[in-house]
Amino acid sequence: MNLLTMVMQLLQGMVITTEVFVLTLLFSLPLGLVVSFGRMSKNGLLRILTKFYISVMRGTPLMLQMIVVYFAPYYVFGVKIASSYRFIAVIMAFSINYAAYFAEIYRGGIEAVAVGQYEAAKVLGYNRFQTFFKIVMPQVIKHILPAVTNETITLVKDTSLAFAISVAEMFTLAKQIAAAQTTIMPLMVAGLFYYIFNLAVAAGMEALEKKLSYYR
């Protein structure tokens, strides 16, 4: 196999990797907000439940969570697992896992907004919805951006865990090619791709941070 075919194959894997990355962010970013609301709820039971959920998600390996999600339909419900379910299982596991991390980041950001901001908004007559989306959220986003960048970069690397249930993302393919051809080259190339991916992510986040630096 020449270098070009190998790179082409890895790029196909890169498409799957990117899909896992984008879909996970798409689901976990809003889900994390919902979880953070639960975590800060006035309802004690809801607070305990979300706290427990977050601690399990953060306290057990993502790979284990993914395998559980993948095999649960079979072992719990006796449903035969279709191969198309692999990708779905990855997205589900990644989303609920990252939502827990994002929830804690949101919570920190929301709690860092000064009470005075809520009080000013209340006296001015903003309703709760306006207060949250016009006054609080923009300040939260600016505050949490560095932490979200960290998680996002971790996510790029975590996509490689999908190899554990044989989803054909880049790392899975790189490992297969490396084994078949007995060369370390595909792994090196994959590493380079992850690195470039993350450079792009970091650059994007930095641009966003810069855009929000018009105020303090």
Partner 1 sequence: MKLLEINHLKKEFDGLGVIKDISLSVEQGEVISIIGPSGSGKSTLLRCATMLENMDGGELIYHGEKAAWENEKGGCTYAPKNDLKRIRKYFGLVFQNFNLFPHYSVLKNIIDAPMSVDKISKKEAMERAEKLLAQLGLTDKKDAYPYQLSGGQQQRVSIARALALQPEILFFDEPTSALDPELTGEVLKVIKELAKEHMTMIIVTHEMQFAREVSDRIIFMEDGVIQQQGTPEEIFTAPNERVKAFIGKFVG
Judged by the rule CB under 8 A, the positions of this chain that interact with partner 1 are: 114, 116-117, 119-120, 122-126, 130, 134-135, 138-139, 142, 214-216
CB of 157 to partner 1, least distance (A): 32
Least distance to partner 1, CB of residue 139, Å: 6
Helix axes 85-112, 3-39, angle to 10 degrees: 50
Q: Which is nearer to partner 1, 12 or 139 (CB)?
A: 139
Residue 201, C-beta contacts closer than 8 angstroms, at least 6 positions apart? 149, 152, 153, 156
Q: At what angle do helices 85-112 and 137-158 cross, to 10 degrees?
A: 140
| Residues 186, 195: Cα–Cα separation, whole Å | 14
CB 110, min distance to partner 1, A: 15
Please report how close the Cβ of residue 35 comes to partner 1 at its closest, in angstroms.
25
2 vs 213 by CB, closer to partner 1: 213
CB 137 within 8 Å of CB 66: no
User: Taking the mean position of all CA atoms in its chain, how far away is CA 97?
Assistant: 7
Which of 107/142 has CB closer to partner 1?
142
* For partner 1, the closer CB: 4 or 114: 114
